[in-house]
Amino acid sequence: MQLWLIPIFPFLGFLLNGLFGRRLSKPVVSMIACGSVLLSFLWVLKTIAGLGAPEAAYFEHYFTWIQSGALNISADFAVDRLTEVMLMVVTGVGFLIHVYAVGYMAHEGGYYRFFAYLNLFMFFMLILVLGANFLLLFVGWEGVGLCSYLLIGFYFLEKFATDAGNKAFIVNRIGDYGFSLAVFLIAVHFGTLDFGKVFSQVKGMPVESAPGWITAICLLLLVGATGKSAQIPLYVWLPDAMAGPTPVSALIHAATMVTAGVYMITRSSQMFLHTPFALNIVAIIGVATAFFAATIGLLQNDIKKVFAYSTVSQLGYMFLGLGTGAFSAGIFHLMTHAFFKALLFLGAGSVIHALSGEQDLRNMGGLAKKIPITCGTLFCAGVAIAGVPPFSGFHSKDAILGAAYQYAPWMYWVGVITAGMTAFYVFRALFLCFFGEYRGHHHPHESPFIMWGPLVVLAALSLGGGYINVPRFLEPMFPLAAEGGNEWTMYVSVAFGLGGIALAYLFYVVAPSIPESLASGLHGLYTLVYNKYFVDELYDETVVKPMVDGSRTLLWRGADVTIIDGAVNGVGRTARAVGGILKLAQGGYIRDYAAWVVAGSIAVIVAMALLGGMGGAK
């Protein structure tokens, strides 16, 4: 099946663009970038066509990577149904976004650099998805983190961009630290890192008497997932990540990379199923993040920030799905979310493009007539994310909420309220952007075909994507929960969604005066939410500052200068003193040195012989 071809195409693209991009013309660069991704997409199609819907994982072994004692890690790829879904999403959506980026980045500097990074990201993301053991997964994991850092800081001349990049990188380090600890624990306790072996071992264990370290592993994995998928408490990097170019926000920070955590937890579902506690934590984190982020999203004025918080909140939904044991529902939402959130971001990008860089909702409005295609597609995304039946968001969200209700009703209610808020803020943004009077001072122009082409495709997907019955497809891996026949949960969530839309319409189209009055009325709450609950400041005070001060005083002045430097200098002095003596033995004659070596080796051999190195071969 030659799975290795799938990631290798983008990698070749990266090499070509990264090494020679400077000399290549823009069309060639974009041709290489998009072509490579298209090739791997086609190869994915061929692979899936060849495999169909495999019951067991199709496995390819390439070479032994690390072999130390019992631990034997090899470079293997594996494809099962879950991987197939992920592959389709990554390469498919990725290709559309690449095409879009050709139009979006047309006037930017560092064109080839951008596409080289993008291809590199695709490479690592595919490694992450295809890898058949935790270490390969980790390689991809770190790789996409690196690319995300590079791309967030793409406009490295602006300080905020580089700061955002650093923030993302550092916050992710915390998560990755947890993940790596989890990997070590797995290696210690299972003696292998291959998914197949590990999970079969776990399956063997009885659920009720599962040892504590499985819980530990799961919690550590969860830490990693919260970092990568921007969950509480490590979500803070994602909104800032919007400093990167919009296609990056769409590809990395909405569609693919941030869902890596969801994929990872789903991948290790066997383990999580053995620790209801960890699973419960996942659910709680998910629902909390969903609600919390949604509230923040209500009041953002930067269009990309709104969608960023919406992403966090939707990821929260996915975690809620996983936590309530409905893994397939989580993956389902992952897919639909990839469609409509990528569409939202690309649409936002198209709007920003149209307004030549304007991102503030307060300076938009009335764009519906000026950029109709973008407007239409964005509204498709809106209805999709708001969970309006029969569009894609409705199906996946309903699956999750249904599972949530069976798991714990309160989670369901929170989720439903969140759904309402989601609908509200998304349509708030859309109304502010497209309805009313134009408040800006640019001259909006519709984007070129190469940009709105992908938008249309994504719009179609986010409208109809709900009929790709992922849970059914994944059933052999994650058996569906028993169909609790309470349709009213569905009706309620739909009602909330529509209600949110209606409320947004009332607030921002019919009577724009209401929001101001509300803001002045609930001033404290307003400021609190408007400033994102001061979480960043809180982290600064509690974590960052102490660290900086501590390292400055204690580590630098204390440890470094006195202890380390002292030690180094002391070593140097001693070495010189000893050398002064040893110098006498240096005749400068190589043969003398050789003789010394021989004498020494004889001594060593004798010593080993006396210490019982003999007869070892018996």
Partner 1 sequence: MDAILFLIFAAFAVACAVNLVLQKHPISSALSLVGVMGSLAVLYLLLGGEFIAMAQLIVYAGAIMVLFIFVIMLLNAGSETRAKRHLWASYAGIPMIAAMIAIAAYIVQHALPPTEEVRFGAFQHGNAYDIGEKLFKVYVLPFEVTSILVLVAILGAIVLARKEVS
Partner 2 sequence: MPALPQGAPLSWYLILSGILFALGVAGFLFRRNIITVFMSIELMLNAVNLSFIAFSYKLGQNDGHIFSFFVMVVAAAEAAVGLAIILTVFKNRQTLEIDEVSSLKN
- Per CB under 8 A, the segment of 147-155, 387-395, 448-456, 581-589 that binds partner 2 is 581-589
- The stretch near partner 1 (CB under 8 A) out of 97-105, 254-262, 272-280, 601-609 is 601-609
Check residue 612 and report its DSSP letter.
Answer: I
Q: Closer CB to partner 2, residue 65 or residue 473?
A: 65
> Which residue lies nearer to partner 2 by CB, 441 or 583?
583
157 binds partner 2 (CB under 8 A): no
Q: Which stretch binds partner 1 (CB under 8 A): 113-121, 486-494, 564-572, 609-617?
A: 609-617
Which residue among 587, 612, 615, 616 contacts partner 2 (CB under 8 A)? 587
| Contact of 305 with 313, CB cutoff 8 Å | no
Distance of alpha carbon 136 from alpha carbon 82, whole angstroms: 17
Stretch that binds partner 1, among 248-256, 314-322, 397-405, 592-600 (CB under 8 A): 592-600
Q: Between the CA of residue 316 and those of 217, 369, 403, what are the distances in Å?
A: 21, 35, 14
Output the six-digit token pair for 404: 């949530």
Residue 488, interface with partner 1 (CB under 8 A)?
A: no
Q: Using CB under 8 A, which of the segments 224-232, 235-243, 297-305, 600-608 binds partner 1?
A: 600-608
How many CB atoms neighbour CB 190 within 10 A? 17
588 lines the binding site for partner 1 (CB under 8 A): no
Determine if 591 is a binding residue for partner 1 (CB under 8 A): yes
Using CB under 8 A as the binding rule, whether residue 548 contacts partner 2 is answered as no
Tokens of 35: 């072509």
Q: Is 580 in the site for partner 2 (CB under 8 A)?
A: no
Name which of residues 57 to 116 contact partner 1 (CB under 8 A): 63-65, 67
* Six token digits for residue 368: 């519906």
Q: For residues 457 and 518, what is the distance between their CA atoms, to the nearest angstrom?
A: 39
From the list 69-77, 122-130, 324-332, 594-602, the region that binds partner 2 by CB under 8 A is 594-602
CB atoms within 10 A of CB 33: 28
Identity at 31, one-letter amino acid code:
M
Which CB atom, from 482 or from 590, has the smaller least distance to partner 1?
590
The answer to whether 68 and 192 are in contact (CB under 8 A) is no
Selection from partner 1, partner 2, none that 514 binds (CB < 5 to 8 A by kind) is none
Please, what is the minimum distance in Å from the beta carbon of residue 589 to partner 2?
A: 5
d(CA 604, CA 501) in angstroms, rounded, equals: 82
Any bridge partners for residue 59, and if so which? 78
What span, in angstroms and rounded, lies between the C-alpha atoms of 197 and 501?
A: 48
598 is a site residue for partner 1 (CB under 8 A): yes
Identified binder of partner 2 from the candidate list 583, 610, 611, 616, rule CB under 8 A: 583
How many Cα atoms are found within 13 Å in the side-chain-facing hemisphere of 420? 14
Contact status: 482 vs partner 2 (CB under 8 A): no
How is residue 537 annotated by DSSP?
H
What whole-number distance in Å separates Cα of residue 116 and Cα of residue 12? 10
Cβ-based nearer residue to partner 1, 485 or 615: 615
| Count of residues touching partner 1 (by CB under 8 A) | 23
Interface with partner 2 by CB under 8 A: which range of 108-116, 334-342, 458-466, 588-596? 588-596
Residue with tokens 């430097």: 565
Q: What's the DSSP call for residue 360?
A: B
Q: Where are the alpha helices (DSSP H) in 153-211?
A: 159-190, 195-204
Which residues have a Cβ under 8 Å from the Cβ of 194 and sit 6 or more positions away?
A: 76, 132, 133
Q: Which of partner 2, partner 1, none is residue 554 near (CB under 5 to 8 Å by kind)?
A: none
The window from 241-249, 355-363, 372-380, 585-593 that contacts partner 2 (CB under 8 A) reads 585-593
CB 436 within 8 A of CB 375: no
Residue 599, binding choice from partner 2, partner 1, none, Cβ under 5 to 8 Å by partner class: partner 1
Asked if 595 interacts with partner 2 (CB under 8 A), we say yes
Q: Which does 475 bind (CB under 5 to 8 A by kind): partner 1, partner 2, none?
A: none
Within 506-596, strands assigned E span none
Q: Would you say 157 or 617 has its CB closer to partner 1? A: 617
Beta bridge partners of 60: 77
Any contact of residue 591 with partner 2 (CB under 8 A)? yes
The binder of 58, among partner 1, partner 2, none, by C-beta within 5 to 8 A per type, is none
Q: Which residue, chain included where needed, has tokens 């983190």?
A: 145
When asked if residue 595 is in the footprint of partner 1 (CB under 8 A), the reply is: yes
Instruction: Locate 136 and state its tokens.
Output: 């390969």
Alpha-carbon distance of 390 to 467, in angstroms, equals 9
Characterise 365 by phi-psi region: left (phi > 0), alpha (psi -120 to 50), beta (else). left
Token readout for 306 is 């709104």
How far, CA to CA in Å, does 81 sit from each of 293, 342, 474, 507?
Answer: 31, 23, 6, 44
User: What is the bridge-based pairing of β-strands 58-68 and 71-79?
Assistant: antiparallel
For residue 106, CA distances in Å to 112, 350, 353 come to 11, 13, 11
In angstroms, give the least distance from the CB of 594 to partner 2. 5
The CB-of-18 to partner 1 minimum distance in angstroms stands at 20
How many positions of this chain bind partner 2 (CB under 8 A)? 11
- Residue 588 site contact among partner 2, partner 1, none (CB < 5 to 8 Å, cut-off depends on kind): partner 2
Which residues are at the interface with partner 2 (CB under 8 A)? 583, 586-591, 594-595, 598, 617
Binding residues for partner 1, rule: CB under 8 A, are: 63-65, 67, 587, 589, 591-592, 594-595, 598-599, 601-602, 605-606, 609, 613-618
